[in-house]
Chain A
Amino acid sequence: MRERVLNSIGIGLLVVCFAISLSRILLHSKQEADPEVTTLRFAHWQLESGVRDALDAMAREYEAQWLARGRKVRVEQLAIPERVYPNWLVTQLVGGTAPDLIQLGIGINDERTARFFTPLTREVGEPNPYNKGTALESVPWRETFVDNLGSSLSYNPQLLEYYGIPMSIYTIRVFYNKALYREIAGDAPVPRTYEEFVALCRRTIEFGRAHRRPLVPIAGSRYNAPYLMSDLFASQTQRAMLAIDRPRLLHADDNVREMAFIDRRWSLHDEPVVAGLELMREVSGFMQPGFLEVSREDAAFYFAQQRALMVVTGSWDAVSFRSQAPFEIGVFPIPLPAADHPRYGKNMLGPFSEAGIGTGMSFGLTRSARDPLLALDFLHYLGSLPASRLFTERSGWLPAVVGVEPAAAAEPFRPFTEGYPEGFSLVRADMETARIVGKHMYLLPGENGLDAFLDALGKDYPRAVLQDLWSSDRGRARALIRNDTTLTALDALARIHPDDAEIARKRAELRDAQFGVELGHERSRWMLRERGLPVRRE
């Protein structure tokens, strides 16, 4: 009898689910089939709460504007989980069923960009019609974005075309639990220097002990911890960066750091490097044990469950944290040592500038768009000043358009532009140096951790630097090979259209880039040979 009831419930649920699915499909088909309505679809992977609501509000506003002009337009938002986004995207693109606008980034390479997306170079050189009546009315669209569309998601340096229109920029901050902070520190202002930050961390530990609460100062993970640790390390190599800056560019460059290391112009035992590692070691002691083994989600849980006072992450997490955490959240910049710090101040230039941060959350226009002119029009709307204002107000994310003030919730994330370049890092992202530093990192928080870490790293680091240099050279060689075909093709097109300014621009830019790569490639290999080192893996 019980089994029969359970089976009936199961079958009933199946029937209900089927009916709901069927009705949704029929409704969707009916909407799609309505000849009076033009449907636009755009896809992205930003599942953070607030962002979808903001995009939805923008879509409704856009529909209303068209309705007022006598045309029925329906905008459909497709939020695809990041994990399945690349596979979903490729299937849609290859199958010819891609949405009109797609967020660029994961799952997109140069060839897919060229094949499936429409270049926007001409369009970004002209004013955006949706900026009419604003201060940006007569400004070329490209110049209405805070980075002049300089990010690789907007301008593809291989294809020499603009493809993406961005919505936001991101900064990294320390998030803290305001109520818990008041319990621990009372009315004291949030830390502004590293010294004050360390004092707060120690006070948090004492508070946890005194109240028998499982509490750590910082929720760490293999995702979050590097944001804090790499900034602290780079604060100590700011002056060292200038000392090894032979090309005199006044900023950190992986190749310059690597060649300077090979040349013994800096070493792991130099005072600034050791000081940077000391800072990393100290803060690692303020995170939960085993933090390097846990994921981003684990750190978020730790923080949301009030087992940590702080977590270090990007502005993209702000709205999700605020909606999920059962407490008020505050935000402050990562505190670096003060310039007058007796141990760490002398290695520094000062706080980091965030002026060079590029834009993100960029949308591209697919070649398979059913109504490409309308899709471009919607892109114009998304990248306009009024829409950017609506986006920041609803999402709490920073705007990408100049002249748009961040919403109150986004204000603590406003980029700090009055600072200095960062110092050099110990690693090249996602390369061998990063792997071996990660491998030995567990030693750092332990007893005599700094010495143990330096001993272990010292054995692997020189070889890893060499491997990173080889890898960089392989990348240069690949670029040279690829660009030879592109340059020959542009030469052929220039012979067909000798007065075409756009072809001339592309040739000039690519030749600039190509020769820079070629020069660096030849010099790097000569320098390795001269030092008796192999120029590639043997």
Chain B
Amino acid sequence: MTAPLSALLGDSATGPQSPEEAWTAAAQLLVQDASDYFESAARAGAGDPRAIALGRATCLLNLQPKTEGNLRGARELLEGVISANRTDEPGLHARYLLARIAQVHAFEPDRAAAIRIYSELYAEVPAHPLAQCAIVRASLLRLYAPGAAEAKRPLLAEFAELAPRLTDPTARRELEQVLADAWMQVFDSPADALPHLLEIDRLGLARRTSRMDLWVRTAEMARLSGRTDLAAMFYRRFLEATPRDARVRLVRERLAEVEGAR
């Protein structure tokens, strides 16, 4: 009657004993455990020093309490990784994390520095998925830099040109999300948002709840844009996938409405 349990049933009290276990701990928010391993590995001179430095820096970003000293330590470790090679895998990850520190982690964020690092990464290795991920984040920061909404239209045109050049599906989808969201929330323009929502759907979302929301949103944008066939298709897709959602009756009524209008 019993089923096999996951390998994670082991004793968590002993702490990580290898880089893989340390990364597993970090992925489970057990950052102190992961940090203890990477720090002791660094002291013992065990493993690849650049990989260990990347692990130490990653943990320093989330160790509690958050301190300026930890952030400075993380920056120094990442710069050490980059100084050995700035375009191999550890080097690219270290540069990406440096940009994240400037954008997200620093007590006083430096958006300009983050945009510069992200953009350089993309300029140097445009085909690399991490670099494409970086250029999307640079685009997001540029779009929402201080400035009136109307001044953002040329940026949206620039991003729309960039999007097809992104070969990594996740990065491409994220840029389409930036475009769709801006047309919806900043300009309230369903017709402009719709093609980007369709592209997001083509590329796919991992989370079920995100997909359900995307289908409702796409159907609504299509309805408001007069694309009744498209609206009906997405309303139906939502209803088929979601028998249990407080929006089902409303979506059913919207579907009947657009079908009646055809």
Contacts and interface: CB of A to CB of B under 8 A. Distances in A.
A159 B30 CA distance: 10
Given A367-B9, A481-B104, A485-B61, A249 B216 contact: yes
Interface stretch (B119-127, B157-165, B179-187): B179-187
A532 to B, nearest CB: 11
B9 A246 contact: no
Given A373-B2, A488-B93, A248 B58 contact: no
A529 to B, nearest CB: 6
A30 interface: no
A482 interface: yes
A440 B51 CA distance: 57
Nearest to A513: B207
Determine chain B's interface SS by DSSP, over half rule: helix
Contacts, number: 197
B205 A518 contact: no
Contacts of A307: none
A417 B248 contact: yes
B246 A352 contact: yes
Contacts of B28: 114-115, 159
A467 interface: no
A506 B177 contact: no
Interface stretch (B39-47, B80-88, B143-151): B143-151
B248 A353 contact: yes
Given A481-B105, A482-B62, A511-B206, A250 B251 contact: yes
Contacts of A471: none
Nearest to A373: B2
A110 B31 CA distance: 12
A418 B55 CA distance: 51
Contacts of B27: 486, 489-490, 493, 506
Interface string A364-393: 000100001110110010000000000000
A484 interface: yes
Contacts of A511: 170, 206
A335 interface: no
Contacts of B68: none
B23 A492 contact: yes
A129 B93 contact: no
17 contacts: A129-B3, A148-B244, A250-B220, A353-B247, A373-B5, A420-B249, A480-B104, A481-B66, A481-B105, A482-B62, A484-B58, A484-B62, A486-B26, A492-B19, A493-B20, A512-B207, A516-B177
Given A249-B216, A493-B23, A496-B20, 4 more contacts: A486-B27, A486-B29, A489-B27, A489-B34
Interface of A: 69, 96, 110-111, 114-116, 118-119, 121-123, 126, 129-130, 146-148, 150, 158-159, 246-251, 349-350, 352-356, 367, 372-374, 376-377, 380, 417-422, 477, 480-482, 484-486, 488-493, 495-496, 505-506, 508-509, 511-513, 515-516, 518-519, 522-523, 525-526, 529-530
